[in-house]
Amino acid sequence: MILFFDVCVKTLFELGRNYPWPRPERCSCCKGRIWAHGFDTAYFDDFPEPLWIRKYRCVDCRTVFRTRPSGYWSRFQAAIATIREHIAHRLTERRWKPDLPRSRQRHWLNGLRKQILTHFGTGASDDPLQAFDSLIARGVCAAS
């Protein structure tokens, strides 16, 4: 299970394991007690090394909780805002932005098209960016 927190990724980079991650009061599964459970690492764009990400564990039901900065989807190194910006650029300028590999940007746009098809059906892709925002509002990863 993943817990999203408002975390400044730059501060996380600077403080490493000393970052003061907020600890949830109770387990969202069983309302049990949450204890710290070590760290994971995760890569984020603009940082050459993986960053330390706090893990928690419920001592009662043993669920492990991974944390993630809000503004990032699970398994994505780029921020959601970055992904949206690059898709928007492609749709309006009909060119990929030069700052990131085209393959990544293409992957995001193809992911968005799949999600639009899955959630809105065919013929609903008139405004992919609006669909992107609608998918986010539904809690869907719009680019996978």
Residue 24 or 32: the one with the smaller Cβ distance to Zn ion is 32
**Residues 40-79 within binding reach of Zn ion (CB under 5 A):** 58, 60-61, 63
Q: Would the CA dihedral through 79, 85, 91, 97 be positive or negative? A: negative
Binding mask 8-47 for Zn ion (x = CB under 5 A): -------------------x-xx-x---------------
68 CB contacts (<8 Å, ≥6 apart)?
A: 2, 3, 4, 5, 42, 53, 74
CB of 62 to Zn ion, least distance (A): 7
Residue 27 or 42: the one with the smaller Cβ distance to Zn ion is 27
CB of 65 to Zn ion, least distance (A): 9
d(CA 123, CA 33): 48
